[in-house]
């Protein structure tokens, strides 16, 4: 019962927390965009993400081989 009350009150307060913060544009992103470095950042993040995905697929294939072996 207490958890439901806490969740209900938290859901009522969420819109007020969002309004309390003034939105200021990210200066770093604007600087990167104006200098053309944002493409480098996006490329590096994409490469890291693709490496993680390929590593997880590789581990999954090895685990399947081990599970089928037993």
Query: Between residues 40 and 7, which one has the greater pLDDT?
Result: 40
pLDDT digit string, tens, across residues 8-36:
777 766 766 665 555 566 676 677 777 77
> H/E element holding 28?
helix 27-35
Tokens standing for residue 42: 């996006």
pLDDT digit string, tens, across residues 54-70:
999 999 999 999 999 87
Q: Is the pLDDT of residue 49 over 90?
A: yes
Query: Between residues 39 and 14, which one has the greater pLDDT?
Result: 39
- pLDDT for 1 equals 63
Smallest CA-to-CA distance from 30 within 38, 21, 40 is with 38
Prediction pTM value: 0.52
């Amino acid at each position: 019962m207490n958890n439901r009350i806490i969740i209900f009150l938290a859901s009522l307060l969420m819109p007020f927390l969002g309004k309390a913060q003034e939105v200021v544009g990210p200066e770093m992103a604007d600087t990167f965009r104006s200098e053309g470095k944002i493409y480098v950042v996006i490329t590096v993040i994409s490469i890291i993400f693709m490496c993680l995905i390929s590593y997880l697929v590789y581990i999954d294939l090895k685990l399947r081989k081990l599970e089928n072996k037993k």
